[in-house]
Structure 1
């Protein structure tokens, strides 16, 4: 099959059930992504609140599925804990009741058990899977560092590997193509890449410059990774996104990619 990019709207997830598959990726709205690997279920960046004004960020659309549809998970992958568009109140309650939460080191310090933090390139061994924390920068390359030494806050991406399953990259809120190149140099081509895009922008931060991938930079990230399948998430449901799924489809189509709009996304990348 030719490389394809799937762009996911807030209505994704309608085909999700509690039953696990050998490999599947389902976006349920915003960044929240269910990844089944070798019959295990991972949940990335849980957000299940209804539309809500958090004061500096405004959620405009609720999730496509209820929490109960997700069912039990083996682990939650949390790219960062300080922003409600990646970790809202309902998502926090779900995550802290999970068997384990994989997260950046500072998030683990703040949240406590069952959160386990790892630094860049460190790994977790989980039910026969190896999950590696990979670098991410939540803002421009020249962005001012906070007191902990991070642009905006500490964010991690993930690379998921399991015997016989597609190698999968989850970007988290990363805006840096240089870091994507570092990830490619270490892991090689990706079978699947889940990219958070939307060109998130907050006027009070870095003069309103993008805090996450733009649609054009998502194309570049996919090409750097030599990815066979790309799922673009986190580009809808919040007021601070400058771009949406239509912009993503336009950018990828312009670069010669086959594109698919998957309102009920369940992408099976393994035979």
Structure 2
């Protein structure tokens, strides 16, 4: 069974794995301003596909619900129609999704979803930015997939690599996001994405969360340049948004 990725925009991608259609952080609103507490985040590009274009979704992996660049209005509406959404305890309290703590797992068909640590900024940032989570997907005969969510911590990545020493596909959220409330990066920059790839020994990397919002300070081209400089550009899978790419055809096999 083919594993396929379709990049939709921002942090949103459709992963087809083990017979499941899995959506990451749903963002489907058109470009415009989005209030986020005392801030306004500006979306600069719309999604490559609409919810109607995507069709059936079996599972949403929501890194967090409190920021509109990871869950916006149309994303919430779509998520409400999906049978299962996994996220943080804070998100569960606000939205009614299924909560997971780090290292807990939830089995969905052939796929085991394990919640893994993530930190949306420097140590101690949680009271300001809130909880976030990443996920690792495993299953018999399936590739191991890491979905980082809005993680800015290589220490978290190192912990994950210790538990999952063979990551086949890493969906890394980057963009070196910045906001006035914390004068440090809130997500990985391109060099840190390279470091995370090395820690995970990932065989394929799909960059997400690197386009579509004004507070992202790095783009897809910065990621390509960093991976090229590191001699790891052969690991990158950067599909045209909206176009599904079978990952086996990109060079992976398991």
TM-score normalised to the size of structure 2?
0.91
Q: Does 1:35 align with 2:15?
A: yes
Contact 2:177 2:216 in 1 (8 A): yes
Give the 3-state SS of the residue equivalent to 2:90 in structure 1: helix
1:205 maps to 181
Higher relative contact order (CA 8 A, sep 6+): 1
Q: Does 1:181 align with 2:158?
A: yes
TM-score normalised to the size of structure 1?
0.86
Q: Residue deviations 1:213-247, cap 9 Å, x none? A: 00000000011000000000111000001000010
CA distance in 1, matches of 2:161, 2:201: 8
Q: Does 1:119 align with 2:101?
A: yes
Q: Does 1:105 align with 2:81?
A: no
1:1-271 equivalence runs, <5 A? 22-55=2-35, 56-112=40-96, 115-141=97-123, 143-146=124-127, 152-202=129-179, 204-207=180-183, 209-257=184-232, 258=234, 259=236, 261-263=238-240, 264=243, 266-269=245-248, 271=253
CA distance in 2, matches of 1:124, 1:71: 23
Query: Offset of 1:109 from its aligned partner?
Result: 1.1
Q: Which runs of 5+ in 2 are unaligned?
A: none
CA distance in 2, matches of 1:74, 1:250: 35
* Structure 1 residues 145 and 79: alpha-carbon distance in aligned structure 2, compared to 1, 3 A threshold: closer
> Runs of 4+ in structure 1 displaced over 4 angstroms?
none
Contact 1:37 1:162 in 2 (8 A): no
Q: Which runs of 5+ in 1 are unaligned?
A: 1-20
Give the 3-state SS of the residue equivalent to 2:15 in structure 1: strand
Give the 3-state SS of the residue equivalent to 1:181 in structure 2: helix
Q: Residue deviations 1:110-158, cap 9 Å, x none? A: 111xx110101001111121100000000013x4441xxxx61100000
Q: What is the aligned-residue RMSD (CA, Å)?
A: 1.4
* Structure 1 residues 104 and 261: alpha-carbon distance in aligned structure 2, compared to 1, 3 A threshold: closer
* Structure 1 residues 137 and 228: alpha-carbon distance in aligned structure 2, compared to 1, 3 A threshold: same
Q: How many residues align?
A: 242
CA distance in 2, matches of 1:144, 1:41: 33
